[in-house]
Amino acid sequence: MKEEIIIAGFGGQGVLFMGRILAYGGIMQDQEVTWMPSYGPEMRGGTCNVSVILSDNKISSPILSRFDTAIILNQQSLDKFESRVKPGGVLIYDPNGITRHPERKDIKVCRIDAVDEATKLGNAKAYNMIVLGAYLKVKPVVSMENVVKGLRKSLPERHHHLMEMNEKAISVGMNAVEIL
């Protein structure tokens, strides 16, 4: 199994953290992983992305030009990465703030209204976990058990009381995702 993912959005949406949980989840199921963030001027200007690779075998290039899955959380990222999803791949996006929706017909497009769901939950910070849940529903590459382990490893201990809330947000995302 090899899954090459790009998660892209604004700084502050929890893009890097979401990638980290996936990567740690991969380690928990004994996979090879890489997590490569954008750290350049684009990050300083507001947009932010991370590519994550999970693989049963040794990973060569951590730099990717095409992806199995793109998780897209703003218009700039949709414009940049829609064309870079492999044919037959998956694009998951939050339509909040999107003016031009995905157009490709040769990939599976899914929407997750994560801003709305986070508002319903009354917790804007649960946003990225809702998106993560949506991804895991469409592509269950990491088991829920290992995601929870990855989450525990990624959260500093002083935030471990938030585990339950995060797990709940993941299941909200799983239920709310819509395959178009």
Can you give the binding site for other proteins, defined by CB under 8 A?
A: 20, 23-24, 27, 32-37, 39-41, 59-65, 153-154
The distance of closest approach from Cβ of residue 102 to other proteins in the complex, given in angstroms and rounded to an integer, is 22
The distance of closest approach from Cβ of residue 105 to other proteins in the complex, given in angstroms and rounded to an integer, is 23
Closer to other proteins by CB, 27 or 162: give it. Answer: 27
Closer to other proteins by CB, 22 or 170: give it. Answer: 22
The distance of closest approach from Cβ of residue 113 to other proteins in the complex, given in angstroms and rounded to an integer, is 30
Closer to other proteins by CB, 65 or 99: give it. Answer: 65
Closest residue by Cα to residue 78 from 174, 4, 6:
6
